[in-house]
């Protein structure tokens, strides 16, 4: 009887289970190749948690590449594989080019 009086006081029944629509919003999306024009696109998070996109000719190639990228990222995050080197900047390339450039003009 106490439950009935509590319901009358509150005006509704409290249910601890989440609603189905609330559960579907909190679940993670399943990554899979999707059609992008005439090609197949994959998207994944790289080691630095940046979203990356790649496109492939067939869905089989896209699925294989997605599995490979995910495995590589997990190995790097787990410490089983070293991180890839940081990309070089334009300044790095220009300094390298100026340092290794020939000292003489070609016309001489």
Q: Does residue 38 lie within any of the structural domains?
A: yes
* pLDDT value at residue 70: 93
Rg of the chain on CA atoms, in Å: 28
Q: In whole angstroms, what separates CA 55 from the centre of its chain? A: 14
Give the chain's domain count: 1
| Residue 10 included in any domain | no
Express as a percent the part of the chain with pLDDT over 70: 66
Could you list the residue range(s) of the whole structural domain that residue 39 is in? 31-83
pLDDT, residue 24, reads 47
Q: pLDDT tens digits for 21-70?
A: 544 444 445 678 999 899 999 999 988 888 999 999 999 999 999 999 99
How many Cβ atoms from other residues are within 10 Å of residue 33's Cβ? 22
Residue 91's DSSP bridge partners are none
Report yes or no: 47 and 87 within 8 Å, Cβ to Cβ: no
Whether 91 maps to a domain, the answer reads no
Indicate whether this model's pTM tops 0.75. no
């Amino acid at each position: 009887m106490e439950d009935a009086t509590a319901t009358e006081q509150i005006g509704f029944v409290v249910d601890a289970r989440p609603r189905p629509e609330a559960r579907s919003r909190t679940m993670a999306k399943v990554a899979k190749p999707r059609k992008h024009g005439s090609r197949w696109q994959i998207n994944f998070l790289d080691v630095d948690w940046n979203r990356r996109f790649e496109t492939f000719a067939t869905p089989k190639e896209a699925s294989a590449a997605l599995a490979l990228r995910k495995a590589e990222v997990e190995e790097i995050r787990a410490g089983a594989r070293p991180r890839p080197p940081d990309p070089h900047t334009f300044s790095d390339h220009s300094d390298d080019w100026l340092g290794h450039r020939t000292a003489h003009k070609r016309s001489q």
